[in-house]
A and B are shown apart, each in its own frame.
Chain A
């Protein structure tokens, strides 16, 4: 009661303003906006975005320098065909700006990127890098999101259960199993999965194998079938890692003082674990999950290559093999962009999840 009286006194001036007409409403909206712009959250996000831009510039410059210092092949020569004559090579070099000093090349690249969002053309097949990446992004996102859902659905429950029942059969089995999954390289796991389950080369002809990708818009059923093996292969080590991480988090949390308090209040053990324990234990997992997902959005190179999925990772792999610089630079920038953006988003979310965090 007293609270309400109190508040109505406090809000009196504002209440006057909301009397009628569009102007006060506009003013209110404007004030709201001004409040937001002045808020520490807004300033924090702006600062982080500016830093993100700086980071992207640094990443692009580094890629440029590395490629310039350690060229894996001469792009002009690659373009000139089988028996190139020196004049043709020189002409190509000139047309690609490769005869200019590196800082000028970088400047031209950045100018095109900023002014036209132009990531250049492949040295290898002259296709526009931006178009290529945008075509392939959905495929990579399908792979990454599917694997993400899988590993969260597998890793988190296993982690929780083995934390609550330490040294149980399930705990021992999953924790030693997870060690295997973590240490197994993805390409090895991918090949094993193919040799076991692929329709063409597998021991059991169960699932579509490598190169079977079909766009989801064309045939959802076939798309789903073709993604099952890649999803599981990509999710395996993440699931294992998450199970172990969640287990450690939950165990640590369950020995905290506030868990003892929750029990002392007479709460059910279920509520102690799921309300008090998990709320604290899983908050840091959100951060990890966001960052891991964003890392994959830049392309899951190994999985996409083993299963021959036409995603950004596969594109990057081909570009590396062909010493095709513009796609390499383009995919690196996209990857960095996703990671930096995810970092900002995750930090903002974290501040909502943990009231102790201040900007």
Chain B
């Protein structure tokens, strides 16, 4: 058995009562091929003015988690259980009509591809005004003024002209800025950003991340930043959750993650970060093997077929998310000392990214 204490994830310093807390969230979809278990017991939380980074490979359940918070996975074929506590209210149980007034107003979301995420046939100003008027009883003129202000705030030049542009008339970066303006115009408490920079080129990516960071500091918005790129986490996150196969497998502060990562899967993600000072640029070590089928999961630890440190117990018993030290939760059967040694070793070889900011 691992030598860590058996404190449960909800106790202790990790959280007292955060703005948004997710406990034991399960989301599955009935499909023709079987039940897709997209999220399995996720534990997450985020506070005002801080950023939770969620990182994981494609299909690890990041988007489904976020969309479930928004109440946007309530399909007829979906089963949702667990708790999403937002300011004391459980959003999982909230009826649709009440959820509607939370969406966009209290919790806003932006998406990966701003071109396909904005309606192609409406002007961006119209789309922002609509978002305002959906929640506040204000005149069109007032809403328009606020839309212009929001566009100015996210750094769109001459917003009084741009407000009458169609999405296709803007560049990718400007489009994502417009999306952010639309999401932030109502000053939501939480902004969920689902890979907001993946579709943008590198220089624009950095600008958008800067913008999000600035707005977070200014409005004390809680940010949930979803990405498959640890580089983005290093830039932006205060807390990090590493997701695999619908589970949160490691959770800690950014500093800790980039000094003593304790999960073999996290190490794999770290090895696959491209480094500017890498001796052989271009060649990335990605994690061997493929993400598991979410219909027929491997027994035991879902990562065991790809894990270089796999042990007998990993095939049989699924590791629980347990405290390795205050503020650091890990789901892994490896000995704690062994994990820390390997983690430190990797960081010293590969270089830390936590101090890049």
B105 within 8 A of A: yes
B120 within 8 A of A: yes
User: Are the C-beta atoms of A355 and B104 separated by less than 8 Å?
Assistant: no
**Residues of A contacting B: mostly:** helix
| Residues of chain B lying within 8 A (CB to CB) of residue A267 | 100, 104, 130, 134
Given known pairs A265-B103, A267-B130, the reply for A258 and B117 (CB within 8 Å) is yes
- Chain A interface size range: 20 to 34
Please pick, from A258, A264, A280, A356, the residue contacting B103 in the complex, using a CB distance under 8 A: A264
| Residues of chain A lying within 8 A (CB to CB) of residue B168 | 355-356
Which of B103, B121, B166, B168 has the most chain A CB atoms inside 10 A of its CB?
Answer: B121
Residue ID in chain B nearest A356 by CB atoms: B168
Give the shortest distance, in Å, between A359 (CB) and chain B (any CB): 15
Please pick, from B101, B102, B111, B134, the residue contacting A261 in the complex, using a CB distance under 8 A: B111
User: Are the C-beta atoms of B111 and A2 separated by less than 8 Å?
Assistant: no
Please pick, from A6, A260, A263, A356, the residue contacting B120 in the complex, using a CB distance under 8 A: A356
When each residue 316-335 of chain B gets 1 if its CB lies under 8 Å from chain A and 0 otherwise, what string results?
00000000000000000000
| Residues of chain B lying within 8 A (CB to CB) of residue A172 | none
| Residues of chain B lying within 8 A (CB to CB) of residue A86 | none
Given known pairs A263-B72, A266-B101, A356-B168, the reply for A257 and B111 (CB within 8 Å) is yes
User: Are the C-beta atoms of A356 and B131 separated by less than 8 Å?
Assistant: no
Number of interface residues of B (CB under 8 A): 29
Residue ID in chain A nearest B188 by CB atoms: A266
User: Are the C-beta atoms of B103 and A266 separated by less than 8 Å?
Assistant: yes
A354 within 8 A of B: yes
User: Are the C-beta atoms of B117 and A353 separated by less than 8 Å?
Assistant: no
| Complex: A263 Cα to B103 Cα, angstroms | 8
The residues in B between 332 and 350 inclusive whose CB is less than 8 angstroms from any CB of A are none
User: Are the C-beta atoms of A265 and B131 separated by less than 8 Å?
Assistant: yes
B116 within 8 A of A: yes
B151 within 8 A of A: no
Give the shortest distance, in Å, between B165 (CB) and chain A (any CB): 9
B25 within 8 A of A: no
A279 within 8 A of B: yes
| Residues of chain B lying within 8 A (CB to CB) of residue A280 | 119-121
The residues in B between 128 and 180 inclusive whose CB is less than 8 angstroms from any CB of A are 130-131, 134-135, 160, 166, 168, 179
Given contacts A264-B109, A265-B131, A356-B168, 8 further A-B contacts (CB under 8 A): A2-B160, A258-B117, A262-B119, A264-B70, A265-B134, A266-B103, A354-B120, A354-B121
Interface residues of A (CB under 8 A from B): 2-3, 6, 256-258, 260-268, 271, 276, 279-280, 283, 353-356
Jot down 27 A-B pairs with beta carbons below 8 A, ordered by A.
A3-B160, A257-B111, A257-B113, A257-B116, A258-B117, A258-B120, A260-B117, A261-B111, A261-B179, A263-B72, A264-B104, A265-B134, A266-B103, A266-B104, A266-B105, A266-B131, A267-B100, A267-B104, A267-B134, A279-B119, A280-B121, A283-B121, A353-B121, A354-B121, A355-B120, A355-B121, A356-B168
